[in-house]
Amino acid sequence: MSQAAPESWFKRLLLPGLSFKAVVIGGGYATGREIAEFFLPAGAWGGIALATAIWSAVCVATFLVARAARARDYRAFFRVLLGRGWILFEIAYALFVMLLLAVFGAAAGEIVHTAGLPPIAGTVALMAGIAGFAAFGNTAVERLFTWVSVLLYGVYVVFLVLALSSFGDRIATAFAQSTPTGHGWFADWFGGGLTYASYNIIGAIVILPVTRHLASDRDAVIAGAIAGPLAMLPALMFFVCMVAFLPGIAGEALPSDFLLRQLGQPVFHVLFQVMIFSALLESGTGAVHAINERIASAWRYNRGAAPTAPLRAAITLALLVLCMLVADRIGLIALIANGYRALAFVLLALYILPLLTIGLWRFHNGQLAPGEAR
């Protein structure tokens, strides 16, 4: 009996990190809004380093537990961690997706508005793109993560080069003079890094379908360890550019657009906006795909067949219409400043603490039997 061909090193080691980046980069990260909210006030590298370390550590633990229990969707994963309490995470994730997609809808609207179009045009275009990719399942979503990653890293490298050549002197001065502007150690780099890492780490749960490519615990450790740096690298480059225009840039709804105007490169400005929209697309698709995979698992269990592409698309559109209506009523800055901080504490209680205690203890003692997550 022939054995299945082994997965490529790309799918085993890099794709999980690229997928994690796809979920993390989202509305605020791609536009610079989250960086302005959580890192610029501290004026230090500590918050970024802390967030990266937390992401890598939690991704390693998540991938190990998920692989051992063969948990490929968030319902299965939290049945292992929380038992019957898994429903609490489902409620928290529903709120997370509503917040996330509302932010994405608002950001997409802001992007097209800067081009002179009505904001609703950007929101509708984003909805159509997410529905199109999410309808066709894992293969389409993974291809989206891969190709958008190529575009994204390339554009950020060019952005950094242009920024250094245009206002590198301001960047150097800002780093030489930077001092924390918060109110104590928690309000500065530690608080910003911990909060940012805590609500974004849910990305490790969102990408559980990708962990099916992991062939060993070693793969899980390597893939998880590099997921943090892969996700943070674009943010780091963006952060370097943003400090040139402190403190004013911290109040911009779209810091990226502000910086692009300073560069005065119209063609690159358009390319960067396309990249941001693509980042919103992959992040939104990843969040919705996790729900589709959770529904698909239950559908296959109860009906013996996978849901059709039209059904996946219908579920996606229903979610998007509900969630993105919120973006019409609340601004992007308010969504990120208030909603994300509250979500961070919920995820610490329902995900990170159980994972790093119950999950790792059961993994270490070989108590995560395949199929238990059913």
Write out the two tokens for 63.
Answer: 């991938």
φ, ψ of residue 254 in degrees (nearest 5)? -125, 80
- Name the pTM for this structure: 0.85
Write out the two tokens for 177.
Answer: 């003079």
Q: Is residue 101 part of a domain?
A: yes
* pLDDT higher at 314 or 59: 59
Q: Are 209 and 291 within 8 A, CB to CB?
A: no
Statement: residue 271 has pLDDT above 70:
yes
What string of H, E and C letters represents the secondary structure of 295-356? HHHHHHHHHCCCCCHHHHHHHHHHHHHHHHCHHHHCCHHHHHHHHHHHHHHHHHHHHHHHHH
The set of residues, in sequence order, having a beta carbon less than 8 Å from that of 264 and lying 6+ positions away, is 166
Rounded to whole angstroms, the Cα distance separating 352 from 83 reads: 15
Statement: residue 346 has pLDDT above 50:
yes
Q: Is residue 259 part of a domain?
A: yes
What is the average per-residue pLDDT within 66-76? 91
The single residue listed with the structure tokens 């800055």 is 333
The single residue listed with the structure tokens 């990708």 is 210
CATH of the domain at 201: 1.20.1740.10
Write out the two tokens for 360.
Answer: 């790792």
Q: Is residue 3 part of a domain?
A: no
* pLDDT higher at 342 or 328: 342
φ, ψ of residue 44 in degrees (nearest 5)? -145, 165
Half-sphere exposure of 114 (CA within 13 A, CB side): 23
Say which amino acid occupies 336: I
pLDDT tens figures, 11-22? 999 999 999 998
Q: Is residue 27 part of a domain?
A: yes
pLDDT tens figures, 93-139? 887 787 778 778 877 887 788 778 888 888 889 889 999 898 888 88
Give me the pLDDT at residue 308, please.
Answer: 79
Confidence category of residue 27, pLDDT binned at 50, 70, 90: low
The single residue listed with the structure tokens 């991938």 is 63
Structurally, the chain folds into a number of domains equal to 1
What is the average per-residue pLDDT within 233-255? 85
Angle between helices 119-134 and 266-303 (to 10 degrees): 40
Give me the pLDDT at residue 42, please.
Answer: 59
Rounded to whole angstroms, the Cα distance separating 143 from 18 reads: 11
The whole domain housing 123 covers 9-357
Torsion on CA atoms 38, 196, 122, 209, rounded to nearest 10: 170
Q: Is residue 281 part of a domain?
A: yes
What is the average per-residue pLDDT within 202-226? 94
Q: Is residue 364 part of a domain?
A: no
Q: Is residue 190 part of a domain?
A: yes
Q: Is residue 265 part of a domain?
A: yes
Percent of the chain scoring above 70 in pLDDT? 87
